[in-house]
Structure 1
Amino acid sequence: MTSVKICGLVSEEQVLAVASLPVDHIGFVFARSKRQVTPVQAGAWIRRMKEARGDDRPLAAGVFVNFSREELAAVLEEAPLDVVQLHGQEDAAYCRWLKEAYPGLQIFKVITLTGGAGSRETSPELVIQERLQSYQPYVDGILLDTFDPVYGGGSGKTFAWEAIPPYQAWCREAGVRLIVAGGLNPDNVNELLESYRPDGVDVSSGVETEGMKDMDKITSFVGRVKRFV
């Protein structure tokens, strides 16, 4: 079944409400963003979720953009994350360090695409050849998202989904999950699933109303994904 990540949570109330749904990951943004939270806040909310849900809980993911090793380690001291999602220029050596320093921690490496066709850097085939091969031993997921020139993370806009197949083929061969983000919402997620069948989807602004998480939209999004076969 396709995994669901609801990202950009900013309060304990949101965390507990989302954790009551059949979601697989909840996300906290530590990079510069209007949804940025502190490690102390996220740590408290994660521990509260664990108290409330026990083992029946989503995994906690943290979003980072070009944090130094020391900066990321400081976050992990405060916030017991299950997943680190890397949106910057973190290389394979950085991912290897994370895997060795934090056994059991999952790593999602983000590949940023433009709102149009293809990667903002080069063709998918060259990205795979030049970058993904080196990441293979150290990542658990590749996440495709659109590039935000202001914050460096996701922009909340869709990219040309026709770019997905080369990444999907590589991920299947490598035994790595393919997750798609960027402009998803309850109205378009089934089109993505029907056409490309990614292993997971990641949403933030697409389940918001006037910049705030909307539980009706979140519930609708999760329901549509989990009903898809």
Structure 2
Amino acid sequence: MRVKFCGTASLADMRCAIDAGCDAVGFIMGVTYQSTDVVTPAEAAEMIRELPPFIEPVAVTHLRDTEDLIGLVKDSRCTTLQIQDAVEPSGIPVIRDALPYLKIVKAVHVTGESAIAAAKLYEPYADALILDTRTQEKIGGTGIPHDWNISAQIVAKSAIPVILAGGLKPENVAEAIRSVRPYGVDVHTGVKKDGLRDPEKTLAFARGARGALPGN
């Protein structure tokens, strides 16, 4: 089970994720909705220089304009782009042509059955989908779970990897994985204590995720 820790805002955050055995770390940049742990592309690039091999740096952003997205990736030196807001599917190949090495993850917000159609819309264009929760103010980092039954339907029908996010924490991640059977899981606020990424919670989350299914 792949594990990504999002909202990496400092070297201490990053080391905490690395010590827990993460597969990816997310850097939140270019926000247009409420968010926490936001960094600049330059700050992300500085941290990425300290990232060990085989851990993926992910640019997580609310930006929608194709050129803005390309610029963000170049400036931050991330190798995966996670697009949180709505974009035209036709814009994704433009980004891919400009950055052939880049993996592109498209967020689908599970607010109801309509998420199944939204996932199918982006499936031909993205390398993976991430199923998240949203509110009027936030399009990620809400700390609120969504309907895992809908998420499980998306996973079962998807031809590309699907990552589960939204309200995950050490106490529920194993149940979520067993219910949804995703390719990986993503957490931000669920491993924080007093506003900071907590080493004990981070390690417990990773262990819970990897112990949820046989062979993980």
What TM-score, normalized to structure 1?
Answer: 0.85
Are 1:48 and 2:50 an aligned pair?
A: yes
RMSD of aligned Cα (Å): 1.7
Residue type matched to 1:202 in 2? D
Residue type matched to 2:110 in 1? L
Where has structure 1 moved over 6 Å in runs of 4 or more? none
Find the counterpart in structure 1 of residue 118 from structure 2. 127
Q: Deviations over 1:159-216 (max 9, x none)?
A: 0111123211221xx2x10111000000001111222221110000000012211011
Q: State the number of aligned residues.
A: 210
Unaligned runs of 5+ in 1: none
Q: Pairwise mapping of residues 165-184 of structure 1 onto structure 2 (< 5 A)? A: 165-171=152-158, 174=159, 176-184=160-168
- Does the Cα contact within 8 Å between 1:5 and 1:201 map onto a contact in 2? yes
The structure 1 residue matched to 2:146, chosen from 159, 162, 174, is 159
Are 1:60 and 2:70 an aligned pair?
A: no
Q: Pairwise mapping of residues 81-160 of structure 1 onto structure 2 (< 5 A)? A: 81-114=78-111, 118-119=112-113, 123-128=114-119, 132-133=120-121, 135-160=122-147
Q: Percent identity?
A: 30
- Does the Cα contact within 8 Å between 1:88 and 1:153 map onto a contact in 2? no
Find the counterpart in structure 1 of residue 24 from structure 2. 25
TM-aligned CA deviation for residue 125 of structure 1: 4.3
Q: Distance in 1 between matches of 2:79 and 2:24?
A: 9
What TM-score, normalized to structure 2?
Answer: 0.90
Unaligned runs of 5+ in 2: none
TM-aligned CA deviation for residue 19 of structure 1: 1.9
- Greater percentage in helix: 1
Q: Deviations over 1:66-94 (max 9, x none)?
A: 33223222222221111111111112112
